[in-house]
Structure 1
Amino acid sequence: MSTDFSPAATDAVIERVQRRLADEPGAPDPARLAALVREEAVVISDVDLLDVMRRLRDDSTGAGCLEPLLGGPDVTDVCVNGPDRVYVDRGSGLELSPVTFNSEAEVRRLATRFAAGCGRRLDDAQPYCDGHLTRADGTLLRFHAVLPPTSPAGTCISLRVLRQTTTTLAELEAGGSLSAEAAGALREIVEKRKAFLVVGGTGAGKTTLLSAMLAEVPHHERIVAIEDTLELAPVHPHVVNLTTRGNNAEGVGRISIAELVRQALRMRPDRIVVGEIRGAEVVDLLAALNTGHDGGAGTLHANSIGEVSARLEALAALGGLDRPGLHSQLSAAVDFVIVVKRHPDGRRVVHQIGAVEGNPVTIRVTWEAAP
């Protein structure tokens, strides 16, 4: 029997069931949940019953109406600009999706639940926050939210889908992301224990390439990989992953990348890798690479080889290292810079390989992809 349950009727049933669940200890089993839905709906078809139960599950433990978008295997980002504008990136840039929320209050509830899941506070006194969440399928989400009136259009949620990267250079070559010549040059960099930085813009494939290169490291070597969120999972038998931690709701407990670099030095690493260099930790990493830890690596947000020096100078200043000091350390610590680019059609390719030379540092392009 079909009852043609309207969206408004579904929302009303869900609200009544949620009020009843708030008075019951523990999480209800599926049979109890189905019984509550049938009691509140009075007459409901099996199809509508399943839809209501799915909505209840998503609203309590999942991502609400964003769940179908996040489940897509090619989705990299989901951005919510208020209740009626939800964008999704499937590899070709952000596009408006048909998904909408029923109200601003629903968006805010979802953002607040995400924040609580990260151990963060999100309310009128603290109208923005960021953190990381783990989905039931093991996928990681990088989460950020801003509440009105800071965002006049309504609650804004930004989600980046982070999938552990296990690609190899051979797979990247087969997929057209790099040529055989470039693959050979990258393997030689790893084999000769040269230190390198992978640079590129947001979503260009920096972590993917770094992971693929780490898979080429001899299996008797120990890699200590430091990241904000666990993404690096190279095809290698001896990788130790360390991840940062933000402050808890009381404002304490933060563990930074810089602190983890210092800890990594005590863990008998053969190679130290920093998933993304974005602050004062560049000073600690360069110091580590200059004290006998050859073959280290990291990623850096820069759009071209020409931007690398200026970007590192700015980050080093955060750690108290002046320009001459940075160039002296960089010249001795890093051997190569590899540039990855993302084309408008979504393809990610290795664009340039450059050798770090001199002091002050210059980066000489040794290989460049054909136009």
Structure 2
Amino acid sequence: MSRFLEGQRRRHAPKLDTVLLETVRESVLAGRGPVTPSTVAAAIQASGRLLGTAGALDAAESINAELSGLGPLQQLAQDPLVTDIFVNGPDSVWFDRGRGLERSLLRFDAEHHVRSLASRLVAAGGRRLDDGSPCVDVRLKGGYRVHAVLAPISTAGTLLSIRIRREQVFTLPELRASGMFSEKIEEVLRAIIERRLSFLISGATGSGKTTLLSTLLGLSHPDERLVLIEDAAELNPVHPHVVCLESRHRNLEGEGSLDLAELVRQALRMRPDRLIVGECRGAEVRELLTALNTGHTGGGGTIHANTAESVPARLVALGALAGMNAEAVQLQVSSALDVVIHVARGRTGRQVTSIGMMAQTPQGPEVVPALTLRRDGIEEGPAWPELSSRLTLGLGT
């Protein structure tokens, strides 16, 4: 049985000795060095408690999680398939392993334990969580992105949402084997990158946009320079030349913020061969569309949208945040973007459900379906002849 499943089944596992925890906490924090597994183990041994070998190992693991990890949630994070953890209350812990949300057997003793963990995690990210700042988003070492909300903003008490960045990047064949797309879709995706078409990957939260984008970027030619702009670093393509710029929140004094729009402007001075915005969610869309219209082909990013066809309207809405009117955005979109790849999460997992081409119509830019996933296979749409021609693919099914 895996450590994850073993931990999930420990409904009646003994609680962490609070006296030992406080003793070890005081000992390691009194030292000048960082909190490490070795310093925790030494402090446990120095406490004089007779725990035995197995007991000492369990205590060291639990205390390490309490002092520098995710506390009781650490055992969930140890499962390599878990991408998200949600705490909706002391007795409501959920996780996602790629098949939709599942309820955990983990429980917190009380609401103040959840708040204490949330406050510690936020503090580790250099920010504060209190009544004056009840909603906070931070990124921690280890690839954790933590969002916390306090009561009374949350009517259910302290809420925690933790997204885990995994170092493993899947190959296209691995994603195809998992059921994300067919062999024909894989061929098209490879050709989109090879032919340097500008693209957006659309979909809902947790649909696999970032996973697919990381994999596709790894297909870029080794001689290309990839500049990635993200709100929180999640992309990790397997490529020899990657530069990542990450936005910065305001500090405790309310200064020092650096948004995505400014980072895109800075990235244009770094001679990117591919300019990628991890997630288009605000005024940075103006800079991205401008870049894609001025010779920076092959770039793109992800965007939240219900369908591929709704992407143009979504871009118009984001452009309004940058002070652009609908007509200006539509003119930019029609010449900046070539392809929209839509992903969705269903009962069978994450799937590429459609690939469409951006086309200019009298009503403005529209995404015309090229390939659409149906129950009985892949259906070719009106834009497939043009897309296959641009990708130099055959028209066979």
Fold shared, TM-score > 0.5 on shorter chain: yes
Q: Match for residue 84 of structure 1?
A: 91
| Separation of aligned partners in 2, 1:322 and 1:70 | 44
Q: 2:205 aligns with which of 202, 206, 211?
A: 202
Deviation at 1:21, TM superposition (A): 5.5
Q: Residues 122 and 178 from structure 1, CA distance in 2 versus in 1: closer, same or farther, beyond 3 angstroms?
A: same
The TM-score, its normalising length taken from structure 2, stands at 0.84
Post-superposition CA distance 1:54-110 (Å, at most 9, x none)? 332211111111111111111111111222221122222222211112222222221
Q: 1:364 aligns with which of 339, 363, 368?
A: 368
| Separation of aligned partners in 1, 2:41 and 2:145 | 34
CA RMSD between the two structures: 2.2
What one-letter code is carried by the residue in structure 2 that aligns with 1:132?
R
What one-letter code is carried by the residue in structure 1 that aligns with 2:244?
N
| Separation of aligned partners in 2, 1:324 and 1:66 | 48
| Separation of aligned partners in 1, 2:367 and 2:272 | 28
TM alignment of 1:132-211, pairs within 5 A: 132-135=139-142, 140-164=143-167, 166-211=169-214
Please tell me whether residue 54 in structure 1 is matched to residue 58 in structure 2. no
Post-superposition CA distance 1:201-238 (Å, at most 9, x none)? 11111122222222222222222111122222223222
Q: Match for residue 247 of structure 2?
A: 244
| Separation of aligned partners in 2, 1:66 and 1:272 | 36
Q: Match for residue 316 of structure 2?
A: 313
CA contact (8 A) 1:33 1:53 kept: no
Deviation at 1:36, TM superposition (A): 4.3
| Separation of aligned partners in 1, 2:332 and 2:353 | 26
CA contact (8 A) 1:167 1:234 kept: no
Judge which range, 310-319 or 185-194, deviates more.
185-194
Q: Which runs of 5+ in 1 are unaligned?
A: 1-5
Judge which range, 231-240 or 299-308, deviates more.
231-240
TM alignment of 1:282-301, pairs within 5 A: 282-301=285-304
Q: Residues 96 and 37 from structure 1, CA distance in 2 versus in 1: closer, same or farther, beyond 3 angstroms?
A: farther
Q: 1:333 aligns with which of 332, 336, 349?
A: 336
Q: Residues 191 and 50 from structure 1, CA distance in 2 versus in 1: closer, same or farther, beyond 3 angstroms?
A: closer
Please tell me whether residue 259 in structure 1 is matched to residue 241 in structure 2. no
Deviation at 1:318, TM superposition (A): 0.3
Q: Residues 24 and 330 from structure 1, CA distance in 2 versus in 1: closer, same or farther, beyond 3 angstroms?
A: closer
Deviation at 1:331, TM superposition (A): 0.5
Q: Residues 197 and 13 from structure 1, CA distance in 2 versus in 1: closer, same or farther, beyond 3 angstroms?
A: same
| Separation of aligned partners in 2, 1:186 and 1:153 | 43
CA contact (8 A) 2:169 2:214 kept: yes
CA contact (8 A) 2:283 2:321 kept: yes
Post-superposition CA distance 1:248-289 (Å, at most 9, x none)? 222222221111110111011112111110111000000111
What one-letter code is carried by the residue in structure 2 that aligns with 1:350?
V
What one-letter code is carried by the residue in structure 2 that aligns with 1:263?
Q
CA contact (8 A) 2:281 2:318 kept: yes
CA contact (8 A) 2:202 2:341 kept: yes
Please tell me whether residue 272 in structure 1 is matched to residue 275 in structure 2. yes
CA contact (8 A) 1:164 1:230 kept: no
Other structure's SS at 2:47 match: helix
Q: Residues 31 and 209 from structure 1, CA distance in 2 versus in 1: closer, same or farther, beyond 3 angstroms?
A: closer
Aligned residues: 358
CA contact (8 A) 1:118 1:133 kept: yes
Q: Match for residue 222 of structure 1?
A: 225
Q: Residues 354 and 25 from structure 1, CA distance in 2 versus in 1: closer, same or farther, beyond 3 angstroms?
A: closer
Other structure's SS at 1:50 match: helix
Superposition misfits of 4+ residues, deviation over 6 angstroms: none
Post-superposition CA distance 1:310-363 (Å, at most 9, x none)? 211111100011101110000010011111111123x22211111111151011
| Separation of aligned partners in 1, 2:129 and 2:120 | 9
Please tell me whether residue 116 in structure 1 is matched to residue 126 in structure 2. no
Give percent identity, aligned residues only.
45
| Separation of aligned partners in 2, 1:213 and 1:21 | 44
| Separation of aligned partners in 1, 2:231 and 2:182 | 31
Deviation at 1:46, TM superposition (A): 4.1
Q: Match for residue 33 of structure 1?
A: 43
Deviation at 1:27, TM superposition (A): 5.6
Other structure's SS at 2:277 match: strand
Other structure's SS at 2:324 match: coil
Post-superposition CA distance 1:179-211 (Å, at most 9, x none)? 222222222222222111111111111122222
Q: Which runs of 5+ in 2 are unaligned?
A: 1-12, 376-397
Q: 1:100 aligns with which of 107, 123, 146?
A: 107
| Separation of aligned partners in 2, 1:88 and 1:310 | 32
